[in-house]
């Protein structure tokens, strides 16, 4: 993701497929307030890929 929402955190996201759903895990300096934004971006991206 290259969008900047004012968050200075540095983190890595791991994404995996488990049965029929995805699992995403963030590791590093991710502010809790940005976790929901990350969740929605991963979900939206995954849905675009699966179309």
- Residues 1-51 have pLDDT tens digits of 455 556 566 878 888 887 877 787 878 887 777 778 888 888 888 788 777
Separation of alpha carbons 38 and 46, rounded Å: 12
Model pTM above 0.75: no
Separation of alpha carbons 26 and 7, rounded Å: 14
Separation of alpha carbons 34 and 18, rounded Å: 24
């Amino acid at each position: 993701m290259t969008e900047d929402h004012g968050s200075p955190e540095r983190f890595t996201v791991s994404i995996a497929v488990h049965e029929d759903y995805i699992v995403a895990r963030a590791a590093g300096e991710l502010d809790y307030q940005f976790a929901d934004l990350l969740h929605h971006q991963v979900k939206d991206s995954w849905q675009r890929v699966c179309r």
